[in-house]
């Protein structure tokens, strides 16, 4: 007879877990027969010993089976989603979902909220007056059918085991395990019922994965999981050493997303968004040009339709911070070669744009505008950032975050930095 202690010791000692044992574990945990402290011990054993490919496939399947699956069979369009591992200034989803919908796909984008220095897609959209992120499964499908895309919170019924396991990982130092990260992300994406999935795996100082090797391993693991569960999956590794675009925050990122949908977005943001759009369309077999959908206004129209369908007012004025302070003077005259994403993201969080705990409120108006980006010519003393806050007392901790790290800004008097690639590598 299977019991929790036997599974913990087996994994602790480097032995693999049988499929039936994994399925028993999740059923018993849901029923309360396996305690949180026992599951925590097993998560720590997995952190050190890992899960092989077969174990991970069954582990992920058990997480999916712990709840419901979104039924998208009524949709006539091919379905495709995108997931980003998170970064600073990463507002791609706001542009990408309506863009790909304008090209003929249905995009069920189940997103999350920000934590720490990385922003949350739902926090950004909720800076739009009236926008609703909490939709029932029926509402989600209805918005998809009418607008072609939806960006909403994953319902409590999708992979509920993941919610419990993530809470344990968060307090037991086991978040960084690639098998556990992969199963957490992919269980929800597979449960949402999409036919295809593109993964944007960020790499760099402002990303969860700092090294290329770890990012590649995560991407390969998630692509394999998707394919094994019948979801056509591809991963793009994209850089996150510098904030993406020039806006970091909530309302400010919505504004920049609107500029991008009008064809006026920053070059780095547009390159990444179009690369992801092309990958999504390729997986669905749709022959469409995403750049043309921006140029002729179809993408912006799809965005406005989605916002209205979710209760928002696409014409409403967005929150504007009452306190604005130029800061971070350039240390010399020359080419800006570095603007550290982690430091900027942390400063935006301290201004109120992010949260330390999931239950913390966020400010719609707080954030940062990058007045210069690597590759720009700057003059000594020129402010490189514009800080925005609801409360002037927020400036001190934000400035402390910028000052706490060496090498936040680097300037070269001799030559500009080489252009950063929009996509480092494609997997799958």
- List residues with catalytic annotation: 83, 162, 169, 184, 188
88 Cβ partners below 8 Å, 6+ apart? 117, 118, 119, 206, 240, 243, 244, 248, 341, 342, 344, 345, 348
* 80-84 vs 196-203, strand pairing mode: parallel
Q: How far is CA 348 from the centre of its chain?
A: 17
Pair 322, 185: CB distance under 8 Å: no
Per the rule left: phi > 0, alpha: psi between -120 and 50, beta: everything else, 389 is: beta
Q: How far are the Cα atoms of 183, 237, 277, 399 from residue 220, in angstroms, in the given order?
A: 13, 11, 20, 38
161 Cβ partners below 8 Å, 6+ apart? 26, 29, 30, 62, 63, 66, 67, 187
Find the length of the chain: 428
Pair 6, 40: CB distance under 8 Å: no
Output the DSSP codes for 240-302.
-SS-SSSEEESHHHHHHHHHHHTT-S-HHHHHHHHHHHHHHHHHHT----HHHHHHTSHHHHH
Nearest to 379 by CA among 355, 413, 353: 413
CA distance linking residue 61 with residue 25, whole number of Å: 12
Per the rule left: phi > 0, alpha: psi between -120 and 50, beta: everything else, 295 is: alpha
CA distance linking residue 175 with residue 162, whole number of Å: 12
Q: Give the H or E element holding residue 168.
A: helix 160-172
CA distance linking residue 68 with residue 158, whole number of Å: 5
Query: In b/e form, how buried is each residue of 372-394, taking b as 16+ CB within 10 angstroms?
Result: bbbbbebeeebebbbbbbbeeeb
CA distance linking residue 368 with residue 200, whole number of Å: 23
Sign (positive/negative) of CA torsion 34, 36, 41, 44?
Answer: positive
Beta-carbon-side half-sphere exposure of residue 155 (alpha carbons within 13 Å): 19
Q: How far is CA 314 from the centre of its chain?
A: 23
């Amino acid at each position: 007879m299977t019991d929790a202690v036997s599974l913990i010791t087996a994994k602790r000692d480097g032995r693999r877990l049988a499929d039936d044992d994994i399925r028993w574990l999740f059923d018993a945990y849901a029923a309360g027969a396996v305690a949180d402290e026992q599951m925590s011990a097993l998560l720590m054993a997995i952190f050190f010993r890992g899960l092989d490919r077969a174990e991970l496939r069954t582990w992920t399947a058990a997480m999916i089976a712990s709840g419901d699956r979104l039924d998208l069979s009524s949709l006539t369009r091919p379905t495709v989603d995108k997931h980003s591992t998170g970064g600073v200034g990463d507002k791609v989803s706001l542009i990408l979902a309506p863009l790909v919908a304008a090209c003929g796909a249905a995009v069920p984008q189940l997103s999350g909220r920000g934590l720490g220095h990385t922003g949350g897609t739902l926090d950004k959209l909720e800076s739009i007056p009236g926008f609703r992120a909490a939709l029932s499964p029926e509402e989600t499908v209805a918005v998809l059918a009418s607008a072609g895309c939806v960006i909403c919170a994953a319902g409590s019924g999708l992979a509920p085991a993941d919610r419990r396991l993530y809470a344990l990982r968060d307090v037991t130092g086991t978040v960084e395990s690639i098998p556990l990260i992969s199963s957490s992300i992919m269980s929800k994406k597979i449960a949402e019922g999409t036919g295809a999935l593109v993964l944007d795996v960020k790499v760099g100082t402002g990303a969860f994965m700092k090294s290329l090797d770890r990012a590649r391993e995560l991407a390969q693991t998630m692509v394999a999981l998707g394919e094994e569960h019948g979801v056509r999956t591809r991963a793009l590794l994209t850089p996150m050493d510098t904030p993406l675009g020039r806006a970091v925050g909530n309302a400010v990122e919505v504004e920049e997303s609107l500029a991008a949908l009008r064809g006026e977005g920053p070059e780095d943001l547009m390159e990444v968004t179009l690369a992801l759009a092309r990958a999504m369309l390729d997986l669905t077999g749709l022959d469409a040009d995403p750049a043309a959908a921006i140029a002729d206004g179809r993408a912006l129209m799809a965005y406005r339709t989605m916002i209205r369908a979710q209760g928002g007012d696409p014409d409403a004025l967005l929150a504007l911070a009452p306190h604005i302070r130029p800061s971070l003077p350039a240390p010399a005259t020359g080419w800006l070669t570095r603007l550290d994403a982690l430091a900027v993201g942390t400063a935006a969080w301290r201004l109120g744009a992010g949260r330390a705990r999931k239950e913390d409120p966020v400010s719609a108006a707080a954030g940062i505008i990058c007045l210069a980006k690597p590759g720009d010519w700057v003059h000594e003393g020129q402010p490189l950032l514009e800080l925005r806050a609801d409360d002037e007392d927020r400036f001190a901790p934000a400035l402390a975050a910028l000052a706490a790290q060496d090498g936040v800004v680097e300037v070269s008097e001799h030559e500009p930095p080489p252009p950063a690639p929009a996509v480092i590598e494609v997997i799958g």
